[in-house]
Amino acid sequence: MSTTARRLPIQTRTSRRSGADQHRLAHASNQSHPPGVRRGAVRALAVNLAVLLGLLALSGCGLGARPAPSAVQLVVSRDFGARILSQSGARNVTGAETVMSLLAQSHSVATRRGASFVQSIDGLSGGQEGGRRVDWLYYVNGVQAAMSAAATSVHPGDHIWWDRHDWSQAREVPAVVGSFPEPFLNGLEGKRLPIRIECESSSGYACSAVAERMRSLGIPAAIAAPGSGAGPHTLRVLVGTWQRLGADEAAREIAQGPHASGVYARFSSEGRALALLGSDGRTRRTLGAGAGLIAATRHGEDAPAWIITGTDVGGVNLAARSFTSAILHNRFAVALSSSGPLALPIAPTSR
């Protein structure tokens, strides 16, 4: 079908709210407690200290921060990362470079709309495939970009990911987890952003595991309770059971399905079951007790929100243990069960 006869998603993202046609993150001492100090008081002090250190980091003190990597990476894949077509080693980019020019250095690229949008990469075109609408979309540091590839500058450390996929159920997937540890290391558009881990239980295993993962990567992050207020330019990582996090704006979008959030998973109303969806939006598998989810989405032009959640505490803990590059690599979102991680959306052959 010609480009004039069908509706195309753009390779950029704008606010979903502006029109229906728009495409779119102390350990305890081994010493005994001082006389007269109860265990609970010590725990509370440790939590408050962690929050204070996080807030100092957000204020610009940079406690624990390391220099972000400057090499650029380029990934080309299809079907939501299910098939990796090429993956470059780290590149050092010098001078003015755009996402389009970087892609064209190592791939044969056909464009449309005045050479601003990619029609095909190495002969693999967008259009119709098996009755499905497919096109090339791209992500910078795990976020669908705000401009065309020809107008988006490449910054040091950027992770650029082109993927050709079915967009019939989600005209945009505003954020993905497969570029981790981006966007936490290099941020967006060349600027590092403040990070806040919002935990259902600040003293629980899951919160500690996520905070420790960030710390091990040299990423400073504050710790706070869910819904305690954060600026629109703060990267939030929500940690807790779906039942507890479901009222958050990011969780509400996920609950509406892929068309609203770009996440191909949906919890039951009580949060005790997790339906895993295919690219057609249909349920392919349902997980119960002990199931977890790691996903990301974005509301309008706000910074992305990541969610590390589950059907119960066991599921949240499993998701927190899975908050690693090895499990998230090149995946749009990940469901977790006792049998292992499941990339989302579920491929047609998965059961």
* Nearest-angstrom CA–CA distance, 19 and 182: 29
Beta bridge partners of 286: 275
Which tokens sit at 89?
């080693």
Domain ranges in the chain are 69-166, 195-344
Residue 192's pLDDT is: 93
Residue 2's pLDDT is: 35
Whole-structure pTM over 0.75, yes or no?
Answer: yes
pLDDT one-digit tens code per residue, 224-266: 998 777 788 999 999 999 999 999 999 999 999 999 999 999 9
Distances (CA, A) of 221 to 133, 185, 288: 40, 11, 31
Query: Could you write out the DSSP letters of every residue in 315-346?
Result: HHHHHHHT-SHHHHTT-SEEEEETTEEEEESB
Residue 301's pLDDT is: 87
pLDDT one-digit tens code per residue, 142-191: 999 878 999 999 999 999 999 999 999 998 999 999 999 999 999 999 99
The two domains 69-166 and 195-344 share their CATH topology (first three levels equal): no
Indicate the average pLDDT of the chain: 83
Is a pLDDT exceeding 60 seen at residue 5? no
pLDDT one-digit tens code per residue, 168-179: 999 899 999 999
pLDDT one-digit tens code per residue, 191-217: 999 999 999 999 999 999 999 999 999
The residue among 311 and 61 whose pLDDT is bigger is 311
Going by C-alpha positions, the residue among 164, 179, 149 that lies closest to residue 85 is: 164
Residue 70's pLDDT is: 81
In the three-class reduction of DSSP (H, G, I as helix; E, B as strand; rest coil), residue 198 is classed as strand
Centroid of chain to Cα 18: 22
Distances (CA, A) of 242 to 68, 225, 267, 288: 32, 14, 8, 12
Residue 230's pLDDT is: 76
- Once rounded to an integer, what is the mean pLDDT over residues 74-97? 88
Going by C-alpha positions, the residue among 292, 346, 303 that lies closest to residue 81 is: 346
Pick the CATH number of 69-166 from 2.170.130.30, 1.10.3080.10, 3.90.1170.50, 3.40.50.11440: 2.170.130.30
Q: How confident is the model at residue 66 (pLDDT cuts 50, 70, 90)?
A: low
Residue 279's pLDDT is: 95
Is a pLDDT exceeding 50 seen at residue 48? no
63: amino acid identity, one letter: L
Distances (CA, A) of 21 to 9, 15, 253, 330: 9, 11, 17, 28
Fold of 195-344: Chitobiase; domain 2 (3.30.379)
Buried-exposed string 310-322: b where 16+ CB fall within 10 A, e elsewhere: bbbbebbbbbbbb
Is a pLDDT exceeding 80 seen at residue 274? yes
Q: How confident is the model at residue 68 (pLDDT cuts 50, 70, 90)?
A: low
- Once rounded to an integer, what is the mean pLDDT over residues 24-49? 37
The residue among 53 and 115 whose pLDDT is bigger is 115
CB 293 within 8 A of CB 245: no
Q: How confident is the model at residue 88 (pLDDT cuts 50, 70, 90)?
A: confident
Which tokens sit at 245?
């996090």
Q: How confident is the model at residue 11 (pLDDT cuts 50, 70, 90)?
A: low
- Once rounded to an integer, what is the mean pLDDT over residues 19-27? 35
Q: How confident is the model at residue 114 (pLDDT cuts 50, 70, 90)?
A: confident
The pLDDT > 70 percentage for the chain reads 79
Is a pLDDT exceeding 80 seen at residue 113? no
At CA 83, angle to CA 254 and CA 236, rounded to 5?
A: 30
Residue 27's pLDDT is: 33
Cis peptide bond upstream of 232, omega within 30: no
